[in-house]
Amino acid sequence: MSLRGWSYAAASAVGTSHSKVGGTCQDANDCQLYQFPNGQSVLVGVVADGAGSSKYGGEGAALCCETFITLVSDHLSNGNSVEQISLETSRFWLDTIKNRLFRQADSLSEAPREYACTLLGAIVADTCSVFVQVGDGVIVVSDSEEPQYGHIFWPDRGEYENTTHFVTEDGVQDHLQFDSVRREIVEVAMLSDGLQRLALDYKSQMAHQPFFGGLFPALQKSTEGRSEDLSRLLSEFLSSPRVNQKTDDDKTLLLATRRTNQQH
């Protein structure tokens, strides 16, 4: 299957439960494309959701995304491949992110929990992809052989209802999910927990195919790189009554494809 370069769009939107009390969105996201002289391209996407109970959850999420992108960029710039990213590498990255959040909290004389956030990361090369996750939210993909959408990890819930795990907590390494996938991933969706009930079928524990099938066709027709128009439309979708009737939480959606519309 002949593939084009990556196109992507992303947006985060404040939930109605936060906007009603004058709060801001505590989700964050970033996506970067790396092109190498040998022709290989690597897509790096990250989504973080700041804990609603944390004073600086949104800042923590933004700092988490920024640090993750920097760590992956350094890894690739130093001549390392995606295949060389191991569980041990991911654990080192997680420690680095956690320590940066701790230092930021300490600089303001705040407890680290005030910067608590989840983490979803995707590093997608031509024939190998690495995925990492701490907490809830979900990463959904399809590959060149199978157009169906499937989740990488099921959202990780905490010990109690409506709780999850955060980068800043003690023992977070025990809750790091890691997978290195040796197949040709062609579409990626990353979303925070505010969209889970729209995007996932909890009864079957599968991705809700119509949800993703309705989102990707427009992106498949777009030019390579970030689509500002589709990112704006995603933002409008996330803030629409249709979505807000089903969730009052902050919402993030990052979509990336290298499939053409005719191939799906």
The tens digit of pLDDT for each residue in 66-125 reads: 999 999 999 999 999 999 999 999 999 999 999 999 999 999 999 999 999 999 999 999
Q: Indicate whether 56 belongs to any domain.
A: yes
- Closest to 34 measured CA to CA, from 89, 100, 86, 79: 79
Query: Containing H/E element for 74?
Result: helix 57-77
- Domain count within the chain: 1
Rounded-to-5 percentages of helix, strand, coil across the chain:
35, 30, 35
Q: Indicate whether 148 belongs to any domain.
A: yes
Residue with tokens 């009603």: 20
- Closest to 115 measured CA to CA, from 77, 68, 59: 59
Q: Indicate whether 264 belongs to any domain.
A: no
Q: Indicate whether 224 belongs to any domain.
A: yes
Q: Indicate whether 1 belongs to any domain.
A: no
Confidence of residue 151 (pLDDT cuts 50, 70, 90): very high
**β-pair type (119-124, 129-134):** antiparallel
Q: 208: domain range?
A: 7-259
Q: Indicate whether 136 belongs to any domain.
A: yes
> Is-contact 127 145, C-beta < 8 A?
no
Confidence of residue 264 (pLDDT cuts 50, 70, 90): very low
- Closest to 121 measured CA to CA, from 39, 31, 236: 31
Confidence of residue 191 (pLDDT cuts 50, 70, 90): very high
Going through 138-244 in order, the beta strands assigned E by DSSP cover 138-143, 150-151, 177-181, 185-191, 200-201, 206-207, 225-226
In this prediction, residue 143 carries a pLDDT of: 92
Residues 6+ apart with CB under 8 A from 195: 238, 243, 247, 251, 252, 253
d(CA 105, CA 56): 9
Output the domain CATH number for residue 33: 3.60.40.10
> Is-contact 119 167, C-beta < 8 A?
yes
Grouping H, G, I as helix, E, B as strand and the rest as coil, residue 45 is strand
Predicted TM-score (pTM) of this structure: 0.94
Q: How far is CA 198 from CA 185, 192, 208, 246, in A?
A: 23, 11, 8, 8
5-21 per-position pLDDT tens digit: 999 999 999 998 777 77
